[in-house]
Amino acid sequence: MIKFQNVNKKYDNGYEALKDINLTIEQGEYVAVIGLSGAGKSTLIRCINRMHDISSGSLLVNDVEVSTLKGKEIRKLRRGIGMIFQSFNLVNRISSLKNVLVSFVPDMPIWRKVLGLYTKKQKIEALEALDRMNILDKAFTRVDQLSGGQQQRVALARTLAQKPSIILADEPVASLDPITAKQVMTDFQRINEEMNMTIIINIHHVDLALEYATRVVGIRSGEIVYDGPASEVTEQILEHIYNGKLEEELSGN
């Protein structure tokens, strides 16, 4: 369970990214966060795994207060939360398998870390993760030779290998073509249903958000202006979230 209580986030330059956020997300939900660029979507999800600090309020992730964690505790928190990025953020020069194996590194003894030696059990787990994303055959291909959709799947496999209870995705389909984007959204749906993982996605494409997510959170200049089932989102609500700029936002992307 993720619970925001009166969370505020102010950047060093004085910009208020989040204003008095109250939000509860239960285990196993599939949530899409929508809103204009710069509304605070990215900040919101990055607070959950402490990639960003919050300025005030309380943020509980699985009953742990995130805002007071330090060093090692932050890393322990992050081990349990997967993250997916717009540009996949894989290590380009190495194979898909090695990219997935990287998720075991924080728990390995130091000599294995330095030499980059993985156990057979870890390799099998990593291959299983790749298999789950249907790209087992690309295990030994360098990721810079894969297509965008395949790269995002490797990134998803890397996250699955981490065995998280929550997956955060920051614009996961923004650099993909529409068909691949749908496939990746379906992948998220499958993970959500089969493994009961909480999935929180920042997304520009409103239609994809409404089609795949079960719950929608609308953010406008740092405030939550809509929170409810995806099926109940109307044209009017969208106008409200996008501040009358829905058309611009859609054509701009």
Partner 1 sequence: MNILKAKSVELPNGKTVTFKRSKAPWIILVLLICFYYSVQITGFDLQVLAKRIGQFWVIIGDMIPPNWKYLNKLWQPLFDTIKMSLLGSILGSIFALPLAYLASSNMIKNKPVVAAFKFILSLLRTLPTLVAALIATFVFGIGTMAGTVAIFIFTVAYVGKLLYEAIENADLKAFEAMHSMGHTTTSAFRCAIMPQILPNYLSNAIFCFEGNVRYAAILGYVGAGGIGLMLNESLGWRNYANVGMILLLLVVTVYIIESISEYFRKKLM
Partner 2 sequence: MNSIEKQLLNEPKRIVQNVITAVILFAFIMWSLTAVDLSNFTSNGLDIAKNILLGIVTPNTDLLFTFNTNGVPYLLVETMAIAFLGTIVGAILAIPLAFLSASNIVPKPVAFLVRLFLIFVRTIPAIVYGLMFIRVTGPGPFAGVLTMALTSIGMLSKLFVDVIEDLEVNILESLESIGCTPFEKIRYGIIPQLSAMFMSIVIYRYDMNLRDAAILGLVGAGGIGAPLIFAMNGYKWSEVGSILIGLMILILIVELISNKIRNKLVRGY
Phi, psi of 14 (to 5 degrees): 95, -5
Nearer to partner 2 (CB atom), residue 36 or residue 127: 127
Nearest to 41 by CA among 165, 168, 181: 168
Collapse the DSSP code of 146 into the 3-class scheme (helix H, G, I; strand E, B; otherwise coil) and give the result. coil
Query: Nearest CA to 25 among 54, 3, 10, 8?
Result: 3
Is the torsion defined by CA of 184, 206, 195, 44 positive or negative? positive
* Cβ–Cβ < 8 Å for 161, 125: yes
Give the residue with the Cβ less far from partner 2, 45 or 130.
130
Indicate the residue among 70 and 244 with the shorter CB distance to partner 1: 70
Taking CB within 5 to 8 Å according to partner kind, which of partner 1, partner 2, none is near residue 97?
partner 2
Site string for partner 2, 140-179 (x = CB under 8 A): x---------------------------------------
Per CB under 8 A, the segment of 29-37, 82-90, 128-136, 225-233 that binds partner 1 is 82-90
> Looking at beta carbons only, is 105 or 124 nearer to partner 1?
105
Neighbour-count burial for 65-76, b at 16+ CB within 10 Å, e otherwise? ebeebeeeeeee
- The least distance separating partner 1 from the CB of residue 102, rounded to whole angstroms, comes to 5
Half-sphere exposure of 24 (CA within 13 A, CB side): 3
Please give the residues from 100 up to 159 whose contact with partner 1 meets the rule CB under 8 A. Answer: 102-103, 105-106, 113-114, 116, 155, 158-159
Please choose which of partner 2, partner 1, none residue 227 contacts, taking the beta carbon within 5 to 8 angstroms, the exact cut-off set by kind: none
Sheet of 198-202: strand order equals 81-84, 166-170, 198-202, 30-34, 215-220, 223-229
Residues contributing to the site for partner 1 (CB under 8 A): 49, 51, 74-79, 81-83, 85, 87-94, 102-103, 105-106, 113-114, 116, 155, 158-159, 162, 168
